[in-house]
Structure 1
Amino acid sequence: MKGIIFTEFLDIVENRFGLEVCQQMLDDAGVDGIYTAVGSYDHRVLVKMIVCLSKITGVSPEALQEVYGEALFARLLTTMPMGNGDKPTGTFGFIERVERHIHIEVKKLYPNANPPQFDFISQTSAKMVLDYISARCFSHVCLGLIRGCVQHFNEEMDIEMEPVTQDQSHVRFTLTLSAG
């Protein structure tokens, strides 16, 4: 997993919970917390930090992942290349862009990268059904990212998340724009 995910996680934990909680989480997880944005790290370390943070704060690991995903969206948005006339105008277009362009570019830059995959099942102007597939099982981070995207585009949307596999490595999202 790319280091930017780790560095952003630590920044978000420090900003939301404070430096002492962040340090306690690192100590409890048995990690030094030294990551570079361009490095590659084992995703299980991030899982361990989330579990430790959950124990410290009393917030469920799923809720922490969702909050992290929402905050991460805004930060990742600033790092995404968007050419002229290439900017999505809504959540559906943005999600398509991530899968059809960004994940492809990530694989070109980092041949060993294994980004999550979105399989688009169906789409109308008001509804998108897509599957999230990732060996890292961060479906709740994905849910948070989608919520962050919806907020960014100032849309009203119902988001349903249905696990396809028990370990949530494959999850179906149904996104429905609210009439309003």
Structure 2
Amino acid sequence: MKGIIFNLLEGQVEHQAGASAWDGLLDDAGLDGGYSAIGDYPTSELEQLVAAQARRAGTTERDAVRSFGHGSLLTLAEGFPDFFTPHDRTVDFLLTLNDVIHPQVRKLHAAARPPEFDFTVLGDDELRIVYRSHRHLCGMAEGMIAGAATYYGQVARITHEACVLDGASDCVLHCTFGGPDDDPRADA
């Protein structure tokens, strides 16, 4: 896994809890840190950091990785606006992942192995997404999808119809995107 992912987590932790929080998280995870953006690191180290973050936050690891994915997408949008500004809606942006964004990632980092997505467009603001990755970080994908919706001023409703973590061959996500008034949680 590329070090930029670890750098994104470090930035989020420091933003939320201060500069010393990252060192504390590394200690909690039993890791040394020192992640270079272009370096390659075991996925297990990210898993250890997310587990430590979940313990600190009193949440599940899956919720912690979703939150990380959400924040990471927003950070990436700030750092790489050219990928985001050509689009007006979440669906339009997501449909560029395989053909525009991930090829650019591979140009910058030849050894990178970003996930693959198969999309079925079900409506203007509705997708079925098959997520494939040897890392099985579907929670991060969910968070990034929700982060994209936040960026475009939409609300994501994501149903995880099938999951590799539950024994399925692939993860299948049913996603709909609407405005804040369409969010069923607004009435809660």
Could you tell me the TM-score, scaled by structure 2's length?
Answer: 0.83
Question: What is the aligned-residue identity percentage?
Answer: 27
The amino acid of 1:45's aligned partner reads E
After TM superposition, list the pairs within 5 Å mapping 1:14-25 onto structure 2.
Answer: 14-25=14-25
After TM superposition, list the pairs within 5 Å mapping 1:30-41 onto structure 2.
Answer: 30-41=30-41
Find the residue that maps to 1:82 and give its secondary structure.
helix
After TM superposition, list the pairs within 5 Å mapping 1:115-134 onto structure 2.
Answer: 115-134=114-133
Q: Does the Cα contact within 8 Å between 2:74 and 2:147 map onto a contact in 1?
A: yes
Q: Does the Cα contact within 8 Å between 2:90 and 2:177 map onto a contact in 1?
A: no
Q: Does the Cα contact within 8 Å between 1:50 and 1:61 map onto a contact in 2?
A: yes
Find the residue that maps to 2:14 and give its secondary structure.
helix
Q: Deviation per CA, 1:36-74, whole angstroms, max 9, x where unpaired?
A: 222221111000111122223322111111111111111
Distance 1:77 1:167 in 2: 33
Distance 1:169 1:147 in 2: 23
Q: Deviation per CA, 1:140-176, whole angstroms, max 9, x where unpaired?
A: 1111111111111112342212234326773111112
Correspondence for 2:173: 173
Query: Aligned-pair distance for 1:131?
Result: 0.8
Query: Relative to structure 2, which stretch is displaced further, 104-113 or 69-78?
Result: 104-113
The amino acid of 1:122's aligned partner reads V
Correspondence for 2:186: none
RMSD over aligned Cα atoms: 2.4
Q: CA 1:169 to 1:64, structure 2 compared with 1: closer, same or farther past 3 Å?
A: farther
Which consecutive residues of structure 2, in runs of 5 or more, have no partner in the other structure? 183-188
1:69 aligned onto 2:69: yes
The amino acid of 1:141's aligned partner reads M
Query: Aligned-pair distance for 1:35?
Result: 1.0
1:79 aligned onto 2:88: no
Q: Does the Cα contact within 8 Å between 1:72 and 1:145 map onto a contact in 2?
A: yes
Q: Does the Cα contact within 8 Å between 2:90 and 2:148 map onto a contact in 1?
A: yes
Query: Aligned-pair distance for 1:178?
Result: 3.8
Distance 1:99 1:63 in 2: 25
Correspondence for 2:56: 56
Aligned residue pairs, count = 179
Q: Does the Cα contact within 8 Å between 2:3 and 2:35 map onto a contact in 1?
A: yes
Distance 2:75 2:44 in 1: 22
Q: Does the Cα contact within 8 Å between 1:138 and 1:169 map onto a contact in 2?
A: no
Correspondence for 1:112: 111
Correspondence for 2:99: 100
The amino acid of 1:66's aligned partner reads R
Distance 2:169 2:47 in 1: 14
Correspondence for 1:11: 11
Query: Relative to structure 2, which stretch is displaced further, 164-173 or 20-29?
Result: 164-173
Query: Relative to structure 2, which stretch is displaced further, 147-156 or 74-83?
Result: 74-83
Could you tell me the TM-score, scaled by structure 1's length?
Answer: 0.87
Distance 1:168 1:43 in 2: 21
